[in-house]
Structure 1
Amino acid sequence: MSQRRKSRGHLTAACSPGAPVLAAQTLPLSGIEDRPPDGGVWGRRRVLLLNSTYEPLAALPARRAVVMLLCGKADVVHADPGGPVIHSATRAITVPSVIRLRSFVRVPYRARVPMTRAALMHRDRFRCAYCGSKADTVDHVVPRSRGGAHSWENCVAACAGCNHRKADRMLSELGWTLRSTPLPPKGQHWRLLSSIKELDPAWVRYLGEGAA
Structure 2
Amino acid sequence: MPERQPDPTGADPDPGEAPGIAPSPGAVPTGSRVLLLNATFEPLTVVTAKRAVVLMLTGKAECIEASLESAFHSESLTVPAPSVMRLSRYVRVPYRASVPMTRAGVLRRDGRRCAYCGKRADTIDHVIPRSRGGTHSWENCVAACRVCNSRKADRLLGELGWTLDTPPRAPNRAAGGIMVLAVEPLPAWEPWLAAAA
What TM-score, normalized to structure 1? 0.79
Aligned partner of 1:204 in structure 2 is 190
Match for 2:66: what amino acid? A
Q: CA deviation at 1:157?
A: 0.9
1-side partners of 2:28 and 2:190: how far apart?
A: 24
Aligned partner of 1:79 in structure 2 is 66
1:183 alignment partner, one of 147, 155, 169: 169
Alignment of 1:15-164 (within 5 A): 22-24=10-12, 26-34=14-22, 36-38=24-26, 41-43=29-31, 45-82=32-69, 84-164=70-150
Q: CA deviation at 1:37?
A: 3.1
2-side partners of 1:135 and 1:109: how far apart?
A: 31
Q: CA deviation at 1:208?
A: 3.1
CA contact (8 A) 1:112 1:186 kept: no
1-side partners of 2:83 and 2:33: how far apart?
A: 8
1-side partners of 2:66 and 2:23: how far apart?
A: 21
1-side partners of 2:140 and 2:134: how far apart?
A: 7
Match for 1:71: what amino acid? T
Gaps of 5+ in 2: 1-7
2-side partners of 1:91 and 1:39: how far apart?
A: 15
Aligned partner of 1:11 in structure 2 is none
SS state at 2:178 partner = helix
Q: Name the structure with the higher strand share.
A: 2
1:154-182 per-position Cα deviation (integer Å, ceiling 9, x unaligned)? 11111122122222222222221112120
Taking a change above 3 Å as real, the CA distance of residues 173 and 31 of structure 1, as seen in their structure-2 partners, is closer
2-side partners of 1:41 and 1:202: how far apart?
A: 17
Taking a change above 3 Å as real, the CA distance of residues 152 and 21 of structure 1, as seen in their structure-2 partners, is closer
Alignment RMSD:
2.3
2-side partners of 1:48 and 1:128: how far apart?
A: 27
2-side partners of 1:78 and 1:40: how far apart?
A: 14
Match for 1:41: what amino acid? P
SS state at 2:72 partner = strand
Gaps of 5+ in 1: 1-19
Q: Name the structure with the higher helix share.
A: 1
2-side partners of 1:101 and 1:177: how far apart?
A: 45
Aligned partner of 1:12 in structure 2 is none
1:4-30 per-position Cα deviation (integer Å, ceiling 9, x unaligned)? xxxxxxxxxxxxxxxx97134731245
Q: How many aligned positions are there? A: 188
SS state at 1:153 partner = helix
